[in-house]
């Protein structure tokens, strides 16, 4: 990093609040010497974590007091009326005021989306922001969007998602021409609903994307595409199913190796392989979903994230800041949808 960047952290968000978000942020400041952080939340809840900080770290930390917290159960529609004094609102406002280049929160997803659209607005040419995250594949990972922000999408929205996802993969993973696939129930042209069929034609006719056509659910893990596009209803179910499958496989492995002395001995021999496999499949290592399409960088962490997992969300924010992903998306939308 050649210049200083600032991240606004909603320290009150998530299931564990400051006891996870603040130590994770302080660790990130150690990893990134050119990074500073604005810790947004109850000042009395933040200050105890900053005692005995090294001077080099302390000078890069600011406290921004916010008296209220948006609960995980609060309806998104209520946040615009009641959330203006919340840590989430003020963290997003810091990005809008250009006092920070990104906001990271483990709070209420619906509230983050509503407040993000209200405070930051969408980029020109983007109707709706989309949630994007990576999914493990045989080649490493692929990006998938939308993951739940938009249950109902038009074909035009899916085209916008395809452009944004392609920009993300190219910028963060340095892929010159990311392969973009549209999630469907089959690869034949006759398969799918009218919305998906029309989206496929729009993406194909656009011409500027490396569009490979329809992909199926198993293609997510086969490395067929670098970016997989779908509406938020389908994407959220696919993501949660993947995470549940990973946990089930891990549980089955552990249970199987406990059945008898011979299997426990095999488990000892296989431990390095199993540890590597678990590491690759662990959903928490891909914690940090981006809300693409806003005029600012917003990263959503899992509400149940531990310190390490929240750190991955902070890493994602740094990567997007370095590449200035919103600016790249804006340029691509302007070029491709002019």
Tens-place pLDDT, residues 136-162: 888 888 999 999 888 889 999 999 999
Matching residue, tokens 């080649």: 139
Structure-model confidence comparison of residues 197 and 287, the more confident one: 197
Average pLDDT value over all residues in the chain: 89
Residue 197 is predicted with a pLDDT of 94
In CATH, what number does 1-126+293-338 get? 3.40.718.10
Asked whether the beta carbons of 125 and 332 are under 8 A apart, the reply is: no
The 10s digit of each residue's pLDDT in 58-113 is 999 999 999 999 998 888 888 888 889 999 999 999 999 999 999 999 999 999 99
Residues of the chain with CATH 3.40.718.10: 1-126+293-338, 134-283
Taking only Cα atoms into account, the Rg of the chain, rounded to an integer number of angstroms, comes to 21
Instruction: Indicate whether 262 pLDDT > 80.
Output: no
> Is domain 134-283 in CATH 3.40.718.10, yes or no?
yes
Residues in CB range of 138: below 8 A, 6 or more apart: 221, 222, 223
Residue 260 is predicted with a pLDDT of 73
Structure-model confidence comparison of residues 318 and 206, the more confident one: 318
Percent of the chain topping pLDDT 90: 64
Instruction: Indicate whether 23 pLDDT > 80.
Output: yes
Structure tokens given for 85: 């004094």
CA 255 to chain centre: 32
Residue 221 is predicted with a pLDDT of 86
Residue 1 is predicted with a pLDDT of 44
Instruction: Indicate whether 284 pLDDT > 60.
Output: no
Structure-model confidence comparison of residues 246 and 87, the more confident one: 87
Structure tokens given for 265: 């001995």
């Amino acid at each position: 990093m050649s210049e200083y960047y600032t991240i606004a952290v909603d320290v009150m968000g998530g299931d564990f609040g400051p006891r996870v978000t603040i130590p994770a942020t302080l660790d990130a400041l150690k990893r990134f010497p050119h990074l500073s952080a604005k810790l947004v939340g109850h000042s009395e809840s933040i200050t105890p974590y900053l005692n005995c900080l090294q001077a080099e770290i302390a000078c890069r930390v600011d406290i921004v007091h916010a008296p209220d917290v948006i609960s995980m159960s609060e309806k998104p529609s209520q946040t615009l009326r009641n959330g203006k004094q919340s840590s989430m609102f003020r963290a997003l406002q810091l990005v809008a005021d250009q006092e920070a280049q990104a906001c990271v929160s483990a709070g209420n997803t619906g509230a983050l989306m509503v407040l993000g659209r209200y405070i930051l607005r969408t980029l020109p040419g983007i109707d709706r922001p989309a949630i994007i995250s990576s999914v493990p594949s045989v080649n490493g990972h692929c990006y998938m969007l939308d993951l739940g922000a938009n249950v109902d999408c038009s074909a035009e929205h899916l085209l916008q998602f395809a452009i944004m996802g392609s920009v993300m993969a190219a910028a963060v993973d340095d892929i010159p021409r990311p392969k973009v696939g549209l999630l469907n129930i089959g690869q034949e042209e006759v398969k799918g609903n009218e919305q998906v069929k029309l989206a496929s034609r729009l993406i194909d006719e656009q011409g500027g994307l490396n569009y490979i056509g329809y992909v199926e659910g198993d293609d997510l893990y086969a490395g067929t595409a670098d970016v997989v596009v779908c509406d938020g209803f389908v994407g959220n179910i696919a993501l949660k199913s993947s995470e549940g499958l990973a946990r089930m496989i891990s549980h089955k492995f552990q249970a199987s190796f406990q059945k008898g002395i011979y299997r426990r001995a095999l488990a000892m021999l296989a431990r390095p392989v199993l540890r590597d496999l678990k590491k690759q499949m662990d959903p928490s290592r891909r914690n940090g979903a981006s809300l693409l399409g806003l005029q600012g960088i917003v990263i959503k962490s899992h509400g149940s994230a531990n310190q390490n997992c929240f750190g991955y969300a902070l890493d994602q924010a740094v990567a997007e800041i370095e590449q200035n992903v919103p600016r790249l998306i804006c340029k691509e939308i302007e070029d491709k949808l002019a």
